C-alpha cells in the first residue's frame, strides 16, 4: 500500500512540475544580421517598451560575423511585446560610437527594419512573442 501511495505521489509531483515548466517556458527569437564586413561584432539588445532605446536591455547578445552574417538567439522569451536594437561594433569597444555632432559612427538597426531619419521608435520596431519561435532578419 505504501508503494502505491508513493508511486501516485511521485507521479502527481512529476505531472505538476512538468505542467509548471510548460506554462513558464518562453519562446526563442533567432535574429540574422547580414554584414558586408568581417570587422568587429554585432551587439543586440532585446527590449520592452520601458527599456527601449536605453542602455539596459532585458537580454543582450553579441554576434560574431561569419560568412557575411551574424546569427544570435534570444532564449526563453516570455509572451509579450518586444523590440530589438542592434549596432555594428566595428572597433569592438562594446559601445556605440558617435561623432562630436551626435551622429552615429557605427551602423545600427531595429526589429521590423524600422528605420527613419533619426533613432528607431518603439511603435515601428515592436513585435509580439506568442506561442511559437520567431526568426527575423534585421538589416544595418
pLDDT at position 115 is: 80
27-34 β-sheet, strand order: 69-77, 27-34, 134-137
Q: Write down the domain spans for the chain.
A: 26-137
May I ask the CATH class of domain 26-137?
A: mainly beta
CB 79 within 8 A of CB 26: yes
Q: How confident is the model over 64-103, as pLDDT tens digits?
A: 999 999 999 999 999 999 999 999 999 999 999 999 999 9
Mean pLDDT for 9-22 is 36
Per the prediction, the chain carries an average pLDDT of: 85
Mean pLDDT for 49-57 is 93
pLDDT at position 24 is: 57
Q: Which three cell numbers stand for residue 110?
A: 531595429
Q: Look at residue 127 and give its three-state secondary structure.
A: strand
Q: From the centroid of its chain, how far is CA 91?
A: 22
pLDDT at position 117 is: 78
Q: Per-residue pLDDT for 22 more than 50?
A: no
Q: Per-residue pLDDT for 2 more than 50?
A: no
Q: Per-residue pLDDT for 23 more than 60?
A: no
Q: Is 83 or 23 the better-scoring residue by pLDDT?
A: 83
Amino acid at each position: 500500500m505504501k508503494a502505491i501511495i508513493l508511486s501516485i505521489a511521485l507521479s502527481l509531483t512529476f505531472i505538476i512540475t512538468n505542467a509548471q515548466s510548460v506554462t513558464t517556458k518562453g519562446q526563442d527569437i533567432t535574429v540574422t544580421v547580414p554584414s558586408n564586413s568581417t570587422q568587429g561584432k554585432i551587439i543586440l539588445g532585446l527590449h520592452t517598451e520601458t527599456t527601449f532605446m536605453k542602455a539596459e536591455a532585458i537580454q543582450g547578445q553579441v554576434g560574431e560575423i561569419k560568412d557575411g552574417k551574424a546569427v544570435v538567439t534570444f532564449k526563453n522569451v516570455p509572451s509579450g511585446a518586444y523590440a530589438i536594437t542592434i549596432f555594428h561594433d566595428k572597433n569592438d569597444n562594446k559601445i556605440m560610437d558617435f561623432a562630436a555632432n551626435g551622429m552615429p559612427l557605427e551602423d545600427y538597426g531595429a526589429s521590423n527594419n524600422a528605420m527613419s531619419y533619426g533613432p528607431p521608435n518603439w511603435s515601428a520596431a515592436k513585435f509580439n512573442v506568442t506561442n511559437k519561435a520567431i526568426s527575423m532578419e534585421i538589416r544595418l
